[in-house]
Amino acid sequence: MANQKNGLKRTRTGKSLNLVLWFSFSVFALVVILVYGVVQNVLIHKQYREMAVKTLSEAGKKMLQVSGSEDTVIARKLYGIANEYGVCLYILDENGESVFPEYTAEGNYSELASVIKGALSDRESTLIEGQKEIAFGAKTSVSGRACYLYLALPDGTLGSNVGNFRWMSMLTGAFSVVLAFVASGFVAMLITKPVTEVTERAKELSRGNYQLNFKKDYYCAEITELSDALDNARVEISKADKMQKELIANVSHDFKTPLTMIKAYASMIREISGEEKEKRDAHAQIIIDESDRLAALVGDLLDLSKLRAGLVSDVKKEFNLSEEVYRIANRFDYLKETGGYQIQTEIEDDLYTVACRERIEQVLYNLIGNAVNYTGADKRVIVKLFRRNDCARFEVYDTGKGIPPDEVDAIWDRYYRSNKTHKRPIQGTGLGLSIVKSILLAHECPFGVLSEVGKGSCFWVEFLISAEETEEDKNPKRKREEV
Ligand code: ADP
C-alpha cells in the first residue's frame, strides 16, 4: 500500500525556485559590479590624467611668471606655488645640476635634464608624457643661468595612483559581491517562502481538504493575488464537489423511481392486466410516460455535460428573434384549451440577433415552460420582447410564489429544485435552468431573474441586436406598409 502511494507521488523536476532566484540575483549582481568596476577603471584613468595635466600646466604657467631680484625670494615663491598645487618642483641647469633645491642630496639629474631637453626641443614649455607618468617641463633662467623647470606628481607615477585605486575598487567589488550573495539569498527566501506555503496549501486542497483558507496578506502583491485566486478556486471546487454529490444522489433517485414503476407495471401486465385490454393499456401508458421521463432526463444530462465541457460547436447565424419568441410562445397554446392558461405576448417585430438558433430556442422554451409551471392560480404568463439600447430584451413574467432571495442564485445551479412536489403541466427534469445558464454564458448574453415572494417572477435575457439589421427592420411599420 505504501509503495502504491509513493508510486503516485510525482517526483519534483526542475530546480528549486529559491536556488534559481538566488543564483540569478547573484549573477546579476556580479555582472553589475564587474561592469561598474571596468567602467570606473577606464574613467578614473582618464579623469586622473586630465586632472594631472591641468594641475601641472597651471602650476607650471604660474611658476614661469614668477620674477624677483633675489634667488631666495624666487625660490620661496616657486615652492609656495608647488605647495599650493601639491606638485614636486625641480629646477635643473643644462647639465642636470639642481639649482633649486640647491641642497638636494641626489646631486646630479643629467639624465632628467636631457629628457626635458629632448621633450622641449624648440618649445618654451611642454608636457612630458610617459606610459605611466606625466610631468611638466619648461625653459627658465635663474640669476641669468639657463635652467629647466620640472614639475612632477608627488607620489611618482600616474600608474601607481590608478593602481591604488584599482586595488581599492577590487576590494570594494569583492565585498559587494559577498554582500550581493547574502542579500540575494535573503530576497530569494523572502519570495520563495510564501510560494512554498501556498503550494503546501494547494496540495492539501488537492487531497480534498476544502476547509483551509488561502486568504492572507503576503509581502508580494502577486502572491496575495495567487492565494486569493486559489481561495476562489477552493470555494468553486467545494461547491462543484457538493453539487456533484447532490447530482448523483438526485439523478439516481430520479432514475430509480421511474425504473421501479416500469418494472412494477410490466409485472402487473404480465401477471394481472395482460388479458384486460383497458387495464393493460393504462399500465402500458404509465410505462411509456415513465420511459419518456427517463429519456428526457438522460437527454438533458447529456446536453448539460456537453455544454459544460465545451463540446458543442454551435454555428451562430443571424435570425429573426421576434419570430422565434412568437413561435415558441405559441407552442404552449394547447395549454389555453386544456389547462385554462393565458399566455399573453408583447413582442416587438423584427428584432434580429446572431446566435445558435436551436440553443436559443431551448432557452426560450425552458424559461416560458418554467413560467407556465410555476405561475399562480390565475394561470397567467406574459412573454415580452422589446428593444432596449443595443439589445433585444426578452422577459417572461409569471404570477407564482416567486423565489426567496436566498435561493435566487441556487436555481441556476445543476439539479436545484426548491419544491419537488410542485404539480406542473410540463414535466421538468430539474436541469432546465442549468442548461439555460450554460447556453447564455456561451453566447455572452446577460441574463437574470427579478422575483418577489408571493407576487411572481420575471426571468430576463438580453440579446445583442445584430449589426446587419436594416433600416427597414428598425422601421417595421414602414416595411409592412410597403408590403
Ligand atoms: P425544474 O423546473 O425542472 O425543476 P429548472 O432548472 O427549470 O428545473 O428550475 C430549477 C428550480 O428553479 C425549480 O425547481 C424551481 O424551484 C425554480 N424555478 C424555476 N423557474 C421558476 C419560476 N418561474 N418561478 C419560481 N421558481 C422557479
Cell 443595443 sits on residue: 390
Q: Is the peptide bond before 446 cis (omega within 30 degrees of 0)?
A: no
Q: Residue 283 in contact with residue 273, Cβ under 8 Å? A: yes
Q: Decide whether any atom of ligand 1 lies within 6 Å of the 457 Cβ.
A: yes
CA angle 289, 294, 298 (to 5 degrees): 145
Which of 254, 394, 433, 457, when mutated, tests ligand 1's pocket best, judged by the most ligand atoms within 8 Å of its CB? Answer: 433
pLDDT for 480 beyond 60: no
In the reported structure, the alpha carbon of residue 333 is separated from the centroid of ligand 1 by a whole-number distance in angstroms of 21
Angstrom distance (rounded) from CA 307 to CA 482: 43
In the reported structure, the alpha carbon of residue 334 is separated from the centroid of ligand 1 by a whole-number distance in angstroms of 21
Q: Decide whether any atom of ligand 1 lies within 6 Å of the 411 Cβ.
A: yes
Q: Encode pLDDT of 122-180 as tens digits.
A: 888 888 887 667 888 988 887 777 888 888 876 654 555 666 777 887 888 888 888 88
Q: Decide whether any atom of ligand 1 lies within 6 Å of the 374 Cβ.
A: yes
**Percentage of residues in the chain with pLDDT exceeding 70?**
85
Give residue 369's pLDDT: 92
Q: Which helix (H) or strand (E) holds 274?
A: none
**Percentage of residues in the chain with pLDDT exceeding 90?**
22
Q: Decide whether any atom of ligand 1 lies within 6 Å of the 416 Cβ.
A: yes
The arrangement of strands across the sheet holding 98-100 comes to 98-100, 88-93, 145-152, 134-142, 125-129
CA atoms in the 13 A half-sphere facing the CB of 265: 18
Q: Decide whether any atom of ligand 1 lies within 6 Å of the 428 Cβ.
A: yes
pLDDT for 4 beyond 50: no
Give residue 427's pLDDT: 63
Q: Decide whether any atom of ligand 1 lies within 6 Å of the 232 Cβ.
A: no
Between residues 398 and 109, the one the model is more confident about: 398
**Where is average pLDDT lowest: 11-15, 106-110, 371-375, 396-400?**
11-15
Mean pLDDT, the chain, as a whole number? 81
Give residue 3's pLDDT: 42
Instruction: Please give the full DSSP string across 394-435, using - where no structure is assigned.
Output: EEEEE-S----GGGTTGGGSTT--S-TT---SS---S-HHHH
Angstrom distance (rounded) from CA 256 to CA 95: 127
**Where is average pLDDT lowest: 162-171, 347-356, 390-399?**
162-171
pLDDT for 414 beyond 80: no
Q: What is the mean pLDDT of residues 333-352?
A: 89
Atom of ligand 1 nearest to the CA of 396: 23
Give residue 131's pLDDT: 64
Which residue's alpha carbon is at the smallest distance from atom 1 of ligand 1?
A: 430
Atom of ligand 1 nearest to the CA of 400: 24
Residues 6+ apart with CB under 8 A from 468: 318, 352
Which of 374, 426, 434, when mutated, tests ligand 1's pocket best, judged by the most ligand atoms within 8 Å of its CB? Answer: 374
Angstrom distance (rounded) from CA 428 to CA 293: 9
pLDDT for 356 beyond 80: yes
In the reported structure, the alpha carbon of residue 114 is separated from the centroid of ligand 1 by a whole-number distance in angstroms of 113
Q: How confident is the model at residue 424 (pLDDT cuts 50, 70, 90)?
A: low
Give residue 416's pLDDT: 61
Residues 6+ apart with CB under 8 A from 61: 125
Q: Encode pLDDT of 177-212 as tens digits.
A: 888 888 888 888 888 888 888 888 888 888 888 888
Q: Encode pLDDT of 18-70 as tens digits.
A: 788 888 888 888 888 888 878 877 787 788 788 888 888 898 888 888 766 67
CA dist 214 → 82, 125, 232 (Å):
74, 80, 9
Q: What is the mean pLDDT of residues 81-88?
A: 87
In the reported structure, the alpha carbon of residue 282 is separated from the centroid of ligand 1 by a whole-number distance in angstroms of 30
